[in-house]
Amino acid sequence: MNLIKEFWADLGWLSNLITITLGIFTIIGIYKAVKTWLKNKKNEITPHADMQSFVSSKNKHPADLKSKRIAIVDDQPENYPTAYLQRSGFNITCITSVSLANYKHLLDYDLIILDVTNIVEEDMKRGGLELMKRIKNDNPRKPVIAASSKSYDPTLTEYFKLSDKQIQTPIKDQKIEEAITETLEKIYSPKSKAREIDELLTGKGLRQDQKAKVLKFGFKYIDKKIGDMDLIKSCTTATHALDAHKYKEMLDQLSESI
């Protein structure tokens, strides 16, 4: 111990400098650690009030919906205001015919607007129904808008039910723009997904503390701080009014879009 003291005493100004520098670094380090700890604690105690505010804080660059690729699969593309849609910034491709043997390229599009008659080579009458089934089978989350006036036909009920939205053609400019924007927002916009989650939680009639707990677990799950099982277990313990599996599924969809 005396040797060490003598060693430092011999160094003089250098030892003072080293001591002071180390001391400053230590204080800065402690300050930062305390600050981070306090911030985390603050988030735990007063988390975001709802999923939408949480998503807003995460998502500095909202999804650019106009960059999404849209396919209009209809033998009569003149029924759509494609020039208007393209001027509005949408990325539209018109396809007048598809073969069931070669349809997978449609899955590359972010949104498909699909007619039912005269578009599938193998079945001109209701080929759109079979195509709808195959697309949804390959990718259930691929958004498809059913574009047909044949709502009166009971044999096409499945075609309409599998779709994410139904429109009739011919269709007005603003109406199709709304249909496209709403569908893209619903699937690709994190804010829209977050709003759905908030509506789900509000509709369950949870107490304030239950809702806060469920949201807290949701935030942790999205931040990958807890896994599937922990989320489901914690939510089920907090309240039985909420379907924890459905909540997890919605959180997964939200995570994908953030």
The correct pick among 71, 106, 113, 156 for binding another protein (CB under 8 A) is 156
- List Cβ neighbours of 107 (8 Å cut-off, separation of 6 or more): 135, 138, 139, 142
Q: Among 42-50, 97-105, 165-173, 225-233, which window interacts with another protein (CB under 8 A)?
A: 165-173
Q: Does 246 interact with another protein (rule: CB under 8 A)?
A: no
Q: Which of 39, 36, 42, 98 is nearest to 73 (CA)?
A: 98
Count residues binding another protein (CB under 8 A).
23
Q: Does 202 interact with another protein (rule: CB under 8 A)?
A: no
Residue reference for tokens 């599938």: 120
Least Cβ distance, residue 68 to another protein (angstroms): 20
Q: Does 166 interact with another protein (rule: CB under 8 A)?
A: yes
What would the two tokens of residue 229 be? 């099982």
The correct pick among 58, 134, 136, 150 for binding another protein (CB under 8 A) is 150
C-beta of 8 vs 160, nearer to another protein: 160
Q: Does 169 interact with another protein (rule: CB under 8 A)?
A: yes
**Cβ neighbours around 81 below 10 Å, total:** 18
**Cβ neighbours around 95 below 10 Å, total:** 19
Q: Which of 189, 194, 164, 192 is nearest to 179 (CA)?
A: 164
Least Cβ distance, residue 168 to another protein (angstroms): 6
The correct pick among 168, 225, 245, 252 for binding another protein (CB under 8 A) is 168
**What phi-psi label fits residue 142: left (phi over 0), alpha (psi between -120 and 50 degrees) or beta?**
beta
66-95 residues near another protein, rule: CB under 8 A = 79
